[in-house]
Structures are given as C-alpha cells and as structure tokens.
Structure 1
Amino acid sequence: MDDNQHVRSAAVLLGLLQQFTLETERYVEAVSNRHHLHRTDLNALAAMVAAAREGKTMTPGALRAALNLSSPATTALVDRLDRAGHLARRRSEKDRRQVHLEMTDSARATGSELFSPLASAIAPVIDALSPDELHIVMAFMQGVIEATMTARNDVTPNS
C-alpha cells in the first residue's frame, strides 16, 4: 500500500469510527426513550458497571467526576435512580460519612434488557474474526479509547 492509499484508508477508517459513534448514540437514545430513562441515567449506570468491573466503589463524588456533573445535578441524578429502584445508597463500613452507590438487581435487569439486543447483533461480527484479528481489533480499540480520553483531557479546561 502506498502512502496515498494509506492516507485514504485512514480517512475511511476515521469516517467509520464517526459513523459507529453516531449509530451508538442513536441506539442509546432509542432505548433510553423507550424505557423512559434520561441519557445521564444510562451514563451513570454504565459508570457504575465500569467501576464494579475494576473493583472500585462508586460514590456520589466519583460519579460526579465520571460524568462531569455539578454537585446539585449529581444529587438529582442519584435521587432519580434511587426512586426508580436502580441504585441503593449504603454507608461505608470504614467511614460512616461516606456513601457508596450500588446498582440494584433491577438496574442490572434493565441494563441487560436495554443492551442485549445490541450485544446480540454485534456478537456474530466478533465471532467471525480469527483469534489474531480479534487481538488486533482489541488493541486498536484500546488505543482509540486512550486517544479519545487524551483528546478529551486536552480540550477540558483545568478546574
């Protein structure tokens, strides 16, 4: 592949990533509307799942930072998710002043209902990859995620 072909292919790949992002946003919007959830609610639940996967405890402060929300907006979000039965507040055993947020079985069931169709649609695409191709795609996606986080940090004003 010559340099011009490489540049054109890279541009096509960037376009595909943009299209994937757009389609993912459209999917999330559709499922959140269908289930009467705010987009921020889904983002909060996703942040809680990610924290649990990493063995971390989610607190209101950590959720605020993860979603870049104000303290009042975070309180409203936590109250809304609590009322909907999607999270429970628990006092820390070590420091009773600290509140831990835990997803409920209801939140896990709703999350599964929301995202199982997407996972089922994507699974055959992943299954069609050889182990070597899967490794390459995983490394690529990790790099894209890290680059996106770097770009976000570069455009986020220092507080």
Structure 2
Amino acid sequence: MVAVKESLREARNQLSVFSRQVGTRLELKDADLDCLDLIDRAGPLSPTALARLTGLHPATLTGILDRLDRGGWVVRERAENDRRAVLIRSVGDRKGELYALLAGMNRGIDEICAGYSPAELEVIADFLRRTAETGRQATGDL
C-alpha cells in the first residue's frame, strides 16, 4: 500500500511537470489547461458549473475564460433554452497544437498498456476511477 501511495505521488508530480511544460509552450497556465480539459470533456458548460467542477472563485474563472477565449481555445455562446445563460464550448481550431504536444505521452501510455492484459487494464482503470472519486470527495470535505 505504501508503494502504491508513493507511486501515485510521483506520478502526480511528473504529470504536473509535464502539464506545466505543455502549458508553457501554449502560453497557458495550469488552471487554464485544467479548465480547457473539463470544458472539452464535459462541455459545453456554464461558468457556474465550471467553477463548481474546478473549485475556482468566479472572478478567477472569468480571467481564465478570457484568456482561453482570446487564445481561440473556447467560445462563449448563449444557451438556446435561456438566452440569458452563457455556455462555454471548446473549439477545435487549436487542438492540433495541443495534441502534438501530448502525442509522446500518449504513445508512452499506449506502450505501457500494451504490457497488460485486458483484465489487468480493467483493474487499473477501476483503481484510477476510484482514486479520482476519492480526490473529489476529499476536495468536497475541505
């Protein structure tokens, strides 16, 4: 159990370093990349929903969304069912730049996964999902 926890800490640190390098090359901050990923995976999202998911203060989130909008990463759109509501949607124009920077890491993960059986990969995926959920719960408890 100790080895698993230490490995998670090391993985978190290395992924954080990687993410900072990617952000630097794209002229985005860590929080910008996190928000972009959430918008891309769960969007379109309202700024309120994104603030809840990230735990960021609305004023901080506004600055992030302004940077992402100016950079061509997201657009703000009026919701169809409520013209007063705004939704944030990612746009594909710049995704190629991001994907190019992530390609080496993705290839490496593919190579690692190739060394495991489908059953082992299911256990690993379950562990990672449960770890992420534990992180969400711990964050909520704070």
TM-score, shorter chain, exceeding 0.5 = yes
- 1:115 maps to which residue? 102
Give the one of 109, 113, 120 matched to 1:126: 113
Q: Deviations over 1:72-94 (max 9, x none)?
A: 22211111111111111111111
- 2:32 maps to which residue? 41
Give the one of 77, 88, 93 matched to 1:106: 93
Superposed, which structure 2 residues align to 1:8-87 within 5 Å? 10-52=1-43, 57-87=44-74
Amino-acid identity (%): 25
Q: Deviations over 1:12-50 (max 9, x none)?
A: 111111100110001001111122111111011111122
CA contact (8 A) 1:87 1:107 kept: no
TM-score scaled by structure 2?
0.92
TM-score scaled by structure 1?
0.83
Runs of 4+ in 1 over 4 A off after TM superposition: none
Runs of 5+ unmatched residues, structure 1: 1-9
Rg comparison, structure with higher value:
1
Determine which structure has greater relative contact order: mean sequence separation of CA pairs < 8 Å that are 6+ residues apart, divided by chain length: 2
**RMSD of Structure 2 on Structure 1 (CA):** 1.4
